[in-house]
Structure 1
Amino acid sequence: MDLDLRKIRYFVAVAELLHFGRAAEQLHIAQPVLSRQIRALEKDLGADLFVRDSHGVTLTDAGRQLLDDARQLLATADGTRRRVVQAARGRRRLVVGFRAGVVVTAALRAFAATHPDVEASARRVEWDDQERLVLDGSVDIAYVRRPVREDGLELRPLYSEPRVAMLPGEHRLAGKPEISLTDLDGERWLRYNDPLPGDLPLRTIEEKFECVAAGTGITLVPHSVAEQYSRPDIAYVPVCDADPDRVLLAWAAGRRSPLVAAFAEAAAGVAVPG
């Protein structure tokens, strides 16, 4: 039995909104059509995906499993379509993703020296889209930072680097040559993902700067971020016992691309020592 990607897209819309009417509106189809497609998918899979009752719509265990897998499946399909279109147009190009603090210039130059006919460019990625942009083909290969959702990805460790505390310029610890994590007990933390109770979730490094400078909280950042971003109202202090930040290369698992392989080799050849 082959999965129908159109039905999978319909399923994801309902699963994310948990409302057939709003999902139908988002998909620009009639609600009865959407309901029939979902029931057809359930028949294809031999499993109920939703519980439908007077209280609304909820996912079954099978539905939750399909949602976990469906996002990667759709992203991979989108990436395949994107690459096929580019090949049909005769374009040889490589898009390299990178996180804040990572410098890709040396790797791009090394790659360009052996592939002068390839249009290579760089695109910034964030912690919450670094995997998706690789899987859907928006970037061909990316420098990512842990934590990384590994499903569907090939990963190659490149290097690690120390992390430093990002503090308001007037913070009590600003100007110290070095501190430990215990020195930061009682501080309010700013985190990208999986915030603890009382923490503030953020998305970009720029949001971190604004919150830290305003005294809203503190955070840890890779040393390379501290080197690249300097502000008079921000102080960076080395933290002797903080876990290092790890940088890896990521590309779609199973993809056999000579260009991706060539860039990975170029990047490894100029990687910052751990």
Structure 2
Amino acid sequence: MDLDLRKLRYFVTVADALHFGRAAEELHIAQPALSRQIRALEDDLGAPLFIRDSHGVVLTDAGRQLLDDAGPLLASARAVRRRVSVAARGGRRLVVGFRAGIPVIPAARAFGARHPDVVVDVQRTEWDDQAQTVLDGRVDVGFVRLPVDETGLRLVPLFTEPLLVALPTSHPLAGKEEISESDLAGERLIWHGDASTRPTRLPYPDSGLRAHGVDEKLEHVAAGRGITFVASSESLFYSRPDISYVPVRELAPDQVGVAMAASRPSRLADDFFAAAQATADVTAECGSYEMWRLASSVAAGG
């Protein structure tokens, strides 16, 4: 049995709306036709995906599992279509994923010297999709921040950079040249992943807020809801008047790596992968602690 991507797309639309009528309107098809497609998908999989009763529509356990798996699968199908479309037009294109604060330009320039006919596109990723976008083909090569699940990846660490604490400018520690982690005792932590991904094992009180990316973390910090930690290059990327970034002596550095899918060989991806390794020092310098200190000095009028 081959999984029908059209039926899968219909399923995701219904699962997001949890309403067959609204899903049918969004898909521009009749509701009875949509119901038939979902029943056919359930027959294909041999499992009910929705419970339909007078109270509405809810996902079954099988439906929740399919929803978890459907997003990457559909994204991979779109990536295949993109690559085929580019090839049909006679062009060559490489998509590079990057995290906030990690410059792509040094590696792109080195790669472009060997492949001047290839267009390098970029796509920003966050902690929760940085590996998946590489695995499902949305990006060909990705700059990632560790830790990351390395299953299915070819991954090489490139460099490390200091971690800083992000504080609202009204905080008593804001503007300090450097602090100790003990100075942050009792602060509420805003983080983007589970405890195993935190740069410290100290028991910070949980703020109850879980942010998707750096933007969201800093919005909560600026509002006084807690503190967070960012890499030094991220602090340059997100320089803002309501946030103060302060080095913390005891924190282990953030590690940046480059990744590509181990199961999808590509000469272009291999060459960009090599270019990223060759230019790691230049890339690291763009977000170095020295540059952060210079930017802080200029901002303070020094």
Instruction: Check whether TM > 0.5.
Output: yes
Secondary structure at 1:95's aligned position in 2? strand
Alignment equivalent of 1:217, drawn from 226, 229, 235 = 226
AA of the residue aligned to 1:158? L
- Specify whether residues 41 and 211 from structure 1 end up closer, same or farther in structure 2 by C-alpha distance, changes over 3 A only: closer
Question: What are the superposed Cα offsets for residues 202-247 of structure 1, whole Å, 9 maximum, x if unpaired?
Answer: 4554555555445443221101223444445432211233343232
Residue in 2 that maps onto 1:143: 143
Determine whether 1:14 maps to 2:23: no
Any idea what SS the aligned residue of 2:84 has? helix
Deviates more, 1:29-38 or 1:222-231: 222-231
- CA apart distance, 1:137: 5.1
Q: What's 1:58 paired with?
A: 58
Q: Partner residue of 2:258? A: 249
Which residue number in structure 1 is paired with residue 168 of structure 2?
168
C-alpha separation between the residues in 2 aligned to 1:181 and 1:219? 12
Aligned counterpart, 1:263: 272
Q: Superposed, which structure 2 residues align to 1:183-202 within 5 Å?
A: 183-193=183-193, 198-202=207-211
In the TM superposition, what whole-angstrom CA distance separates every residue of 1:105-149 from its partner, at most 9, and x where no partner exists? 211111111112212243433445545654665543221224656
Matches within 5 A, 1:44-193: 44-127=44-127, 130=130, 133-134=133-134, 138-146=138-146, 148=148, 154-193=154-193
The answer for unaligned runs of 5 or more in structure 1 is none
Deviates more, 1:217-226 or 1:241-250: 241-250
1:28 paired residue number:
28
Report the RMSD for the aligned CA atoms in angstroms.
Answer: 2.9
Residue identity over aligned pairs, in percent, reads 61
- Structure 1 residues 206 and 3: CA distance shift in structure 2, 3 A: closer
> Using a 3 Å threshold, how does the CA distance of structure 1 residues 134 and 212 change in structure 2: closer, same or farther?
same
Moved more, 114-123 or 133-142: 133-142
Amino acid at match of 2:145: R
Question: How many angstroms apart in 2 are the aligned matches of 1:232 and 1:24?
Answer: 46
Cα 1:39–1:152 change in 2 (3 A) is: farther
Q: Residue 78 of structure 1 contacts residue 136 of structure 1 at CA under 8 Å; is this kept in 2?
A: no
8 Å CA contact 2:207, 2:226 repeated in 1:
no
Q: Secondary structure at 1:160's aligned position in 2?
A: strand
Distance in 2, Cα, partners of 1:116 & 1:47: 51
- Residues 1:55 and 1:182: Cα distance change in structure 2 (over 3 Å): farther
Structure 2, unmatched stretches of 5+, are 196-204, 289-302
CA distance in 2, matches of 1:8, 1:213: 41
Letter aligned with residue 159 of structure 2: Y
Report deviation, 1:180: 3.5
Letter in structure 1 aligned against 2:41: L
Aligned CA distance change for structure 1 residues 125 and 238 (closer, same or farther; 3 Å): same
From the superposition, tell whether residues 206 and 73 of structure 1 become closer, same or farther in structure 2 (CA, over 3 Å).
closer
AA matched with 1:58: V
Aligned to 2:4: 4
Deviation at 1:42, TM superposition (A): 1.0
Q: Distance in 2 between matches of 1:243 and 1:21?
A: 52
| Residues 1:239 and 2:248 aligned together | yes
Relative to structure 1, is the Cα distance of residues 60 and 211 closer, same or farther in structure 2, using a 3 angstrom cutoff? Answer: closer
TM-score where L is the length of structure 2: 0.78
